[in-house]
A and B are shown apart, each in its own frame.
Chain A
Amino acid sequence: MAIEQAIFTSARSSRSEGYHLVATSPGVTPDDARELVAWGPTHDSLAAAGVEAAARAGRRPVSVNFFPLPSGAFCVSRTTHAGPEYSGRRGPQVYTQCLVVPADTLARFANNAFRLLEAATAAGHIRVMSNVPQRLDPLVLPGRASPVSLSLLDRLCFHPGARRLAAVLRVALSCRCLGIVGAEKPERLLAGAITLVPPECRTQWSFSTGLKVSAQRPFRLTAVDDDPVQRRMLLEREAASLLDMQGELPDELDLGEGWAALVYQTMSAGNLGQLAALLQQPHPGLQLEQLDGLARGWLAQARSACFGQAPPAEVPDSTAAPAEAAGATHAGPLRAAPRPRQHTHPAHERSAVGLAPRAGAAPRPVINRPAAALDPGCQELMDQLEQIDTCVLEAIRGDYAALDRLRGLWPNVARKLDPGLVQESREQYLQYALSAWLEESGQADMRDASRAVFALDVLTTLFE
């Protein structure tokens, strides 16, 4: 599908003077055009910090912006300084090239505006035209982008680092509008934050990497100048938060128990493959508000699955050397972090006791693993039970292959086990399936019936 485009800048054209849509491609609808004008940055709209940094580096300041349009498409735009102001007034001309990207085209690029803009730039479509024609041609952008790349995650671990990214995610997920002050490289920080949420959620964050705060452009994520007026303008918005990234982040930074904590734990432990695998799991219709709940489920599963891997008591800042500092190596996709094999690890005690449902709190999907009740001497049986644990977790999550493995494993293991232990195992798995279902139903108005079907398949296998 073609990508329509428009140029919003200051010029004298046959239609108007000053800042207006100087040129559009034929497919831009009137409603979308109006929205492009309303969000369009005009004179002196680029953030001062970005302009100064670009001047020091001897290049043009750039802001990458992203917001939804009335037609259902999305605007991915790039704002920069072009030549002088046509009217002879001081100050440079602010030039914005807007790409009106249909939802399915953006989905090809994993809903990542940065990836799409990179592809468009590489294809030579993003440029400042000194003589803008009245009519522009729609773009065709072949190719696609993967939801997340390990090399990108690796770079993000180095800069801006797991702690900073997790802090951004933590605040961004809890407020309607987040301004980030003093980010050294705001584009990379925001690109990192966008990359670290599942593709389904990425379009829900409108953002700007280098425009001044304005009520006319209600971006959800925006880099803000370290200027009292700009700070105040942002904070006056409803449910707005400001995150100051200058200097070191406080040691007692509370990342909560949701998505930010998940990202921090996986990145700082160097489990980038695991994080990439989590981000790639499809979740149709997933909303940003559901991410914390989803992460809590995953964290609980991980604690159960790792069964003995304690979270590091004090994880050093990953900006130094994340993988080495955490004492872990980069694991391949879907490969769990190395873990001790003893089931009497403190982490198991935590999963069984520390995370038990509190009175009045939503139950959390945790398996009190039957393998834990075995005599440590029965190594073979314990291994098989651990395999069953993993199969149950994965099968309830929708993995058909795991369900098949479970169907083969369970009858053999059940024959060898004490009937009391078999009964107890069934109870634990039943409890886990119910908890997973209740947690999911508490997160969204729409329940995913397929999850219930998977859980029923698992329980049928176990109770046959």
Chain B
Amino acid sequence: MRTRTAMPLDSVRLAQFAVPFPCHICGSENTLAATLCQHCSAPMSIAHQVRETGIAPHVVTVLGSSGAGKTVYLGTLLDMLSRERAPLQLTSRGAYSLSLQQNTMSALARCEFPSKTPSEADCWNWAHCQVRDPADRRPIELLVPDMAGEAMQTEADHPLTFPVIRQLLGRSEGVMVMIDALEAGTGGSSQEFLVMKMLSYLSQLRTDRRRKKPDTRPVALILTKADQCEDCFEDPSGFARRRLPGLWKLCQQHLQNCHYFASGVAGCCAWQVEFGRQRVRVPLRLEPRGIVEPFVWLVRHLQK
């Protein structure tokens, strides 16, 4: 006895790979199987999740010079928010979002700072997470890339060298600016200029239509390593006015919604010198201070 059956051709299964899949960050077309965008190196998992959930995340960018403490701050923040007693509840979207937290916390647990973030965009860590505020029923989706300071500076100096940075800054709805309080306290001005360049570049990327209106994006200016500069904790705004006058003035003129914070992760640091090896700065203990507050402020201003 013969029966007729319909068998799909294998080529039909392959056809889906021929359909271009747009990157969520830059919009350029990629294949369905791509893990990183071929144009901007952003993880394609973000685009897949956005397509599945139908919710586009708010992009929050973290600016700062190399060594300002972006990775340590973000990793510690994600770790603190993923615990039960945090003022905001954070849930990671996808395994790749946990890498930043894992790398940072495992390094700190070994009494080490996490290794330097490479400038290559395909090596960056991205945190895609859902944040739930007990004061607000609606959770919000956030996308926070941990970009390298050198790459940001290069992009500010030579636009389009790192297309992903331009795309991210253009889409940024909230900004965290990291400033090394220790260096600012000792009179160093190089990172002040760098941060000013980045903020200028950020405002330059706003479209002309939007440029007529004042920039109301929440900008949290976080003075990092404040544990080694105690007066910074007492009055972050006054510290910035005294030590970072150029940045202070720029923020006053161009940013309507900015606030100064002080934070510190390591309670105490020391230099470790291994015989025949390099001299490494190590945290002696963990004493996170002022980590969650800037983020809570930013998220609550994002929602408005």
By a beta-carbon cutoff of 8 Å, the part of chain B in contact with chain A is 31, 33-36, 38, 41, 65-67, 112-113, 115-123, 148-150, 153-154, 158, 161-162, 190-191, 194, 271, 277-281
A37 x B158 contact (CB < 8 A): yes
Q: Tell me the minimal C-beta distance from A242 to chain B in angstroms.
A: 15
Q: Tell me the minimal C-beta distance from A134 to chain B in angstroms.
A: 15
Q: In the bound complex, what is the Cα–Cα distance between A17 and B117 (angstroms)?
A: 13
Chain B residues with CB under 8 A of A140: none
Q: In the bound complex, what is the Cα–Cα distance between A89 and B112 (angstroms)?
A: 8
User: Is A266 in the interface zone, CB < 8 Å from B?
Assistant: no
Which of A18, A42, A215, A217 sits near B36, CB closer than 8 Å?
Answer: A215
User: How many contacts A-B (CB < 8 Å)?
Assistant: 116
A42 x B281 contact (CB < 8 A): no
Q: In the bound complex, what is the Cα–Cα distance between A232 and B38 (angstroms)?
A: 13
Which of B36, B116, B122, B158 sits near A43, CB closer than 8 Å?
Answer: B116
Chain A residues with CB under 8 A of B119: 18-19, 40, 42-43, 216
Chain A residues with CB under 8 A of B153: 16, 18, 20
Stretch of A79-87, A337-345, A392-400 on the interface side:
A79-87
- Contacts A18-B65, A216-B120 hold; do A34 and B278 have CB atoms under 8 A apart? no
- Contacts A17-B191, A84-B278, A236-B38 hold; do A42 and B150 have CB atoms under 8 A apart? yes
Q: Tell me the minimal C-beta distance from A153 to chain B in angstroms.
A: 37
- Contacts A85-B278, A90-B280 hold; do A233 and B116 have CB atoms under 8 A apart? no
User: Is A91 in the interface zone, CB < 8 Å from B?
Assistant: yes
Q: Tell me the minimal C-beta distance from A454 to chain B in angstroms.
A: 46
User: Looking across the interface, which residue of chain B has its beta carbon closest to that of A19?
Assistant: B150
User: Looking across the interface, which residue of chain B has its beta carbon closest to that of A88?
Assistant: B281
User: Is A45 in the interface zone, CB < 8 Å from B?
Assistant: yes
Chain A residues with CB under 8 A of B278: 83-85, 90, 92
By a beta-carbon cutoff of 8 Å, the part of chain A in contact with chain B is 10, 12, 14, 16-20, 30, 34, 37-38, 40, 42-45, 83-85, 87-92, 214-217, 232-233, 236-238
Chain A residues with CB under 8 A of B115: 43-44, 89-91
A88 x B279 contact (CB < 8 A): yes
Query: A-B pairs with the 3 shortest C-beta distances?
Result: A18-B66, A84-B278, A88-B281
A214 x B66 contact (CB < 8 A): no
- Contacts A18-B148, A43-B116 hold; do A89 and B122 have CB atoms under 8 A apart? no
A215 x B150 contact (CB < 8 A): no
Q: Tell me the minimal C-beta distance from A213 to chain B in angstroms.
A: 8
Chain A residues with CB under 8 A of B279: 84, 88
B122 x A18 contact (CB < 8 A): no
Chain B residues with CB under 8 A of A17: 65-67, 149-150, 190-191, 194
B35 x A236 contact (CB < 8 A): yes
Chain A residues with CB under 8 A of B123: 44, 214
Chain B residues with CB under 8 A of A84: 277-280
Which of A16, A85, A237, A238 sits near B150, CB closer than 8 Å?
Answer: A16
Q: Tell me the minimal C-beta distance from B167 to chain A in angstroms.
A: 14
- Contacts A16-B150, A37-B154, A214-B122 hold; do A87 and B161 have CB atoms under 8 A apart? no
A237 x B38 contact (CB < 8 A): yes
Query: What are 18 A-to-B residue pairs whose CB atoms are below 8 Å?
Result: A16-B153, A18-B67, A18-B150, A19-B119, A20-B154, A30-B158, A34-B158, A37-B154, A45-B120, A83-B278, A87-B67, A89-B116, A92-B278, A214-B122, A215-B36, A215-B120, A215-B122, A236-B31
- Contacts A18-B67, A37-B158, A42-B150 hold; do A85 and B121 have CB atoms under 8 A apart? no
Q: In the bound complex, what is the Cα–Cα distance between A20 and B115 (angstroms)?
A: 18
User: Looking across the interface, which residue of chain B has its beta carbon closest to that of A13?
Assistant: B190
B158 x A232 contact (CB < 8 A): no
Q: In the bound complex, what is the Cα–Cα distance between A237 and B281 (angstroms)?
A: 38
Chain B residues with CB under 8 A of A236: 31, 33-36, 38
Which of B38, B117, B161 sits near A34, CB closer than 8 Å?
Answer: B161
Chain B residues with CB under 8 A of A216: 41, 119-122
Chain B residues with CB under 8 A of A20: 150, 153-154
A215 x B67 contact (CB < 8 A): no
Q: In the bound complex, what is the Cα–Cα distance between A89 and B194 (angstroms)?
A: 21
Q: Tell me the minimal C-beta distance from B131 to chain A in angstroms.
A: 29
Q: In the bound complex, what is the Cα–Cα distance between A305 and B296 (angstroms)?
A: 82
Q: In the bound complex, what is the Cα–Cα distance between A354 and B36 (angstroms)?
A: 48
B190 x A37 contact (CB < 8 A): no
- Contacts A16-B150, A17-B66, A83-B278 hold; do A43 and B118 have CB atoms under 8 A apart? yes
Q: Tell me the minimal C-beta distance from A48 to chain B in angstroms.
A: 14
Q: In the bound complex, what is the Cα–Cα distance between A168 and B214 (angstroms)?
A: 58
Q: In the bound complex, what is the Cα–Cα distance between A358 and B190 (angstroms)?
A: 71
User: Looking across the interface, which residue of chain B has its beta carbon closest to that of A14?
Assistant: B190
Q: A19-B66, A20-B153 are in contact. List 14 more A-B contacts (CB 8 A).
A: A10-B116, A16-B150, A16-B194, A18-B65, A18-B66, A18-B153, A34-B158, A44-B115, A84-B279, A89-B115, A90-B280, A91-B116, A215-B122, A216-B119
Chain B residues with CB under 8 A of A90: 112-113, 115, 278, 280
User: Looking across the interface, which residue of chain B has its beta carbon closest to that of A94?
Assistant: B118
Chain B residues with CB under 8 A of A238: 38
Chain A residues with CB under 8 A of B122: 214-216, 233
A16 x B36 contact (CB < 8 A): no
User: Looking across the interface, which residue of chain B has its beta carbon closest to that of A217?
Assistant: B120
Chain B residues with CB under 8 A of A44: 115-116, 118, 123
- Contacts A17-B190, A92-B278 hold; do A215 and B41 have CB atoms under 8 A apart? yes
A18 x B149 contact (CB < 8 A): yes
Q: Tell me the minimal C-beta distance from A238 to chain B in angstroms.
A: 7
Chain B residues with CB under 8 A of A42: 116, 118-120, 148, 150
Q: Tell me the minimal C-beta distance from B270 to chain A in angstroms.
A: 10
Q: Tell me the minimal C-beta distance from A219 to chain B in angstroms.
A: 13
